[in-house]
A and B are shown apart, each in its own frame.
Chain A
Amino acid sequence: MGLVTSVRDYINRMLQDISGMKVLILDPETVSNVSIVYSQSELLQKEVFLVEMIDSISASNESMSHLKAVYLVRPTSENVQKLRYQLANPRFGEYHLFFSNLLKDTQIHILADSDEHEVVQQVQEFYADFVAGDPYHFTLNMASNHLYMLPAVVDPSGLQRYSDRVVDGIAAVFLALKRRPVIRYQRTSDTAKRIAQETAKLMYQQESGLFDFRRTESSPLLLVIDRRDDPVTPLLNQWTYQAMVHELIGLQDNKVDLRAIGSLPKDQQVEVVLSSEQDAFFKSNMYENFGDIGMNIKRMVDDFQQVAKSNQNIQTVEDMARFVDNYPEYKKMQGNVSKHVTLVTEMSKLVEARKLMLVSQTEQDLACNGGQGAAYEAVTDLLNNESVSDIDRLRLVMLYALRYEKENPVQLMQLFNKLASRSPKYKQGLVQFLLKQAGVEKRTGDLFGNRDLLNIARNMARGLKGVENVYTQHQPLLFQTMESITRGRLRDVDYPFVGDHFQQGRPQEVVIFMVGGTTYEESRCVALQNSTNSGIRFILGGTAVLNSKRFLMDLEEAQRISRSGSHMV
Chain B
Amino acid sequence: MATRNRTTVYRKHRDACKSARAPLSDSFGGPVIEMVSGSFARSNHSSYAPLSTNDPGPSSDDAFTIGLPPAWVDDSEEITFNIQKVRDKMGELAKAHSKALMPTFGDNRGDQRVVEMLTHEITDLLRKSEKRLHNLSTRGGPSQESNLRKNVQRSLATDLQSLSMELRRKQSTYLKRLQQQKEGQDGVDLEFNMNGKMSRLDEDEELGGMGFDEHQTVKLKEGQHVSAEREREIQQVLGSVNDLAQIMKDLSALVIDQGTIVDRIDYNIQNVSSSVEEGYKQLQKAERTQREGAMVKCATILLILCLIMIVLLILKNVLF
Contact = CB atoms under 8 A, between A and B. Distances in A.
A and B bind: yes
Interface of A: 6, 9-10, 13, 21, 23, 26, 31-32, 34-35, 38-41, 43-45, 47, 49-53, 56, 60, 62-67, 90, 93-94, 102-103, 105, 108-109, 111-113, 115-127, 175-178, 210, 213, 253, 255, 269-273, 275, 278-279, 317-318, 320-321, 324-325, 327-328, 331-332, 335-336
Contact of B245 (A31, A51, A121, A324): A324
A94 B264 contact: no
A35 B241 CA distance: 38
B264 A40 contact: yes
B13 A109 contact: yes
Contact of B261 (A66, A93, A271): A271
Contacts of A6: 1
Interface stretch (B3-11, B110-118, B196-204, B221-229): B3-11
B143 A41 contact: no
Contact of B7 (A123, A255, A270, A279): A123
A316 to B, nearest CB: 11
B6 A50 contact: no
B155 interface: yes
Contact of B47 (A52, A119, A178): A119
A124 B10 CA distance: 10
**Dominant secondary structure of chain B at its interface with chain A:** helix
B66 A93 contact: yes
Contact of B3 (A45, A103, A125): A125
Nearest to A176: B1
B12 to A, nearest CB: 8
Nearest to A256: B261
Nearest to A121: B46
Nearest to A172: B2
Q: Which of A40, A210, A272 has the most CB of B within 10 A?
A: A40
A2 to B, nearest CB: 12
Contacts of B18: 116
A127 B3 contact: yes
Contact of B265 (A39, A102, A275, A324): A39
B2 A90 contact: no
A272 to B, nearest CB: 6
Interface in B244-275: 245, 248-249, 252, 256-269, 273
A125 B6 contact: yes
B140 to A, nearest CB: 12
B167 to A, nearest CB: 11
B264 A118 contact: no
Contact of B4 (A62, A120, A125): A125
Nearest to B65: A65
Interface of B: 1-7, 9-11, 13-14, 16-18, 21, 42-43, 46-48, 61-62, 64, 66-70, 73, 143-145, 147-148, 151-152, 154-155, 158, 165, 168-169, 172, 238, 241, 245, 248-249, 252, 256-269, 273
B259 A273 contact: yes
A534 B264 CA distance: 36
A117 B64 contact: yes
A124 to B, nearest CB: 5
Contacts of B245: 320-321, 324
A253 B270 CA distance: 14
B2 A52 contact: no
B14 A39 contact: no
Nearest to B172: A321
A49 B70 CA distance: 15
B261 A269 contact: yes
A263 B188 CA distance: 67
A50 B64 contact: no
A116 B42 contact: no
A113 B64 contact: no
B123 to A, nearest CB: 15
B74 to A, nearest CB: 11
B13 to A, nearest CB: 4
A116 B61 contact: yes
A93 B105 CA distance: 63
Contacts of A21: 73, 148, 152
Top 8 A-B residue pairs of the complex, sorted by shortest distance between their CB atoms? A66-B69, A112-B13, A44-B155, A35-B266, A112-B14, A49-B151, A117-B64, A35-B265
Q: Which of A90, A112, A126 lies at the interface centre, i.e. has the most chain B CB atoms within 10 A of its CB?
A: A112
Question: Which of B6, B18, B158, B265 has the largest number of chain A CB atoms within 10 A?
Answer: B265
B158 A44 contact: yes
Contact of A94 (B46, B70, B249, B268): B46
Contact of B17 (A13, A60, A112): A112
Given A9-B1, A40-B264, A321-B172, A336 B42 contact: no
Contact of A328 (B46, B70, B252): B252
B261 A272 contact: yes
A176 B2 contact: yes
A317 B2 CA distance: 56
A159 B219 CA distance: 96
Contacts of A43: 265
A317 B234 CA distance: 12
Given A40-B256, A64-B145, A67-B148, A31 B1 contact: no
A122 B9 CA distance: 10
A90 B258 contact: no
B148 A324 contact: no
